Amino acid sequence: MDIQLVGITVLWVFLYGYLITASIDFGAGFFAYYGELTGREHIINKIISRYLSPVWEVTNVFFVFFFVGLVGFFPDTAYYYGTALLVPGSIAIILIAIRGSFYAFGNYGAKKSRVYTFLYGVTGLLIPASLSTALTLSEGGFIEEVNGEVVFLAGELFSSFYSWSVVLLAIVSVLFISAAFLTYYASRANDEPALELLRKYALFWSAPTILSSILVFVALQQHNPTHFERTLDYAWFFIASLLSFLIATYLIFNKKRYGTAFLFVMLQFFFAFFGYGISHLPWILYDYITIYSGYTNETTGVYLVIAFIAGLCLLVPSLILLMRLFLFDAEYVKGNKSQ
């Protein structure tokens, strides 16, 4: 395996980690706000806050890790994406900043405020929408280099059917992943009313994830036929994703094994995400950067991989400890152990 491939795989794994953990977080924010609007906050908000409080910072780091690693392995991305994404990137930063700090202000601060919950809920949908456009851009056609200057064609992006289909998929997926996880968490906590409500949310958002995925395929065929052709070469990824989805939904629908169900939701997105990623290769930015052309020098690449392996040896046990304390400790999940 080329070192370039190792690099992009590492980064993709972390982006997948962010996709799952951040979706749970983003969706939870929306459900918390929706719960407050419909007067049901007392049912689900405890469950949400018990899970989120210890882990929100970790979620954020997955993202930082991804973009620092991307620029490290592939410095050319800094040049192209950096120049093109100043405005959308800044808006995403501001949304993330508002979300993270307002969560802390509201949760650790003296008193809950409606404004905090509102912002927390709304940013939960806006952030995935804005971040997903980075993936859209990578398909090409929205960034152009003219006479040595990188230009972002914002108009093209906003009028693109493909772009909007990705945004739709991002939002719907966030809600589905989050609801599926929180259903599992509520079942661990033996919290019947919360479980019932969250299970309904999960089922409600299940079919839309598949429908919007199909929509993305259709749009991709129009936008970047080459990439679409390549996805067909890796069709088994997407079939595996669909099967995982069916199993997960079956389990949730039949009120069985919510933990396994969530595992299959993770697999559903794992296969789809990696199928998308593999078929996208070798391009990082279509027509401009491939993982080979944009690669840093060999020495730095090797050091980064070594650093990554060493870091992983440190992180994996720590993450397991974190999960054992807050995810798999039934007493904590039930709220019998708090501060």
Partner 1 sequence: MDELDLDSAMLSRMLTSLTLGFHIIFATLGVGVPLLISLAEFIGIKRNDPYYTLLARRWTRGFVVTVAVGVVTGTAIGLQLSLLWPNFMQLAGQVISLPLFLETFAFFFEAIFLGIYLYTWDRFKKPIYHWIISIPVIIGSTLSAVFISTVNAFMNAPQGFTMVGGVLTDIEPLVAMFNPATPTKVGHVVMSAYLTSAMVLAAITAFSMLKGKRSIYYKKALKLTMTAGFIFAIGTAVIGDFSGKFLAEYQPEKLAAAEWHFETTENADLVVGGFLDRETEEVKYGLVLPNFLSILAHGNPNSEVMGLDQVPEDEIPPLFIHYLFDGMVGIGMFLAALTFFYMIALRLKRFNVENKWLLRLIVLAGPLSVLAIEFGWIFSEVGRQPWILWDILRTGHAATTSDSVGLMFILFLLLYIVLGTLCVTVLRKMFKSNPAENELEEIARTK
Which residue stretches of 74-191 are H helix? 76-84, 86-108, 114-137, 154-158, 161-188
Q: Which of residues 134-163 bind partner 1 (CB under 8 A)?
A: 149-150
Binds partner 1 (CB under 8 A): choice among 81, 162, 264, 269:
81
- Cα–chain-centroid distance for residue 317? 22
Least distance between partner 1 and beta carbon 335 (Å): 12
127 neighbors 116 (Cβ within 8 angstroms): no
24 neighbors 174 (Cβ within 8 angstroms): no
| DSSP code at position 156 | H
Binds partner 1 (CB under 8 A): choice among 3, 6, 13, 61:
61
189 neighbors 47 (Cβ within 8 angstroms): yes
Q: How far is CA 257 from CA 188, 195, 253, in A?
A: 10, 13, 10
3-class DSSP assignment, residue 75: coil
Q: Does 288 bind partner 1 (CB under 8 A)?
A: no
Number of residues that bind partner 1 (CB under 8 A): 70
Comparison of 217 and 303: residue with beta carbon closer to partner 1: 303
Least distance between partner 1 and beta carbon 62 (Å): 8
Rounded to an integer, what distance in angstroms lies between the CA atom of residue 135 and that of residue 131? Answer: 8
Q: Does 315 bind partner 1 (CB under 8 A)?
A: yes
Q: Does 299 bind partner 1 (CB under 8 A)?
A: yes
Q: Which of residues 84-123 bind partner 1 (CB under 8 A)?
A: 85-87, 89-91, 93-94, 96-105, 108-111
Comparison of 5 and 68: residue with beta carbon closer to partner 1: 68
Cis peptide before 54 (omega within 30 of 0): no
Q: Does 293 bind partner 1 (CB under 8 A)?
A: no
Sign of CA dihedral 5, 6, 11, 15: positive
- Binding stretches for partner 1 (CB under 8 A): 53-55, 57-58, 60-61, 63-65, 67-69, 71-73, 75-83, 85-87, 89-91, 93-94, 96-105, 108-111, 149-150, 296-297, 299-300, 303-304, 307-308, 311, 314-315, 318-319, 321-322, 325-326, 332, 337-339
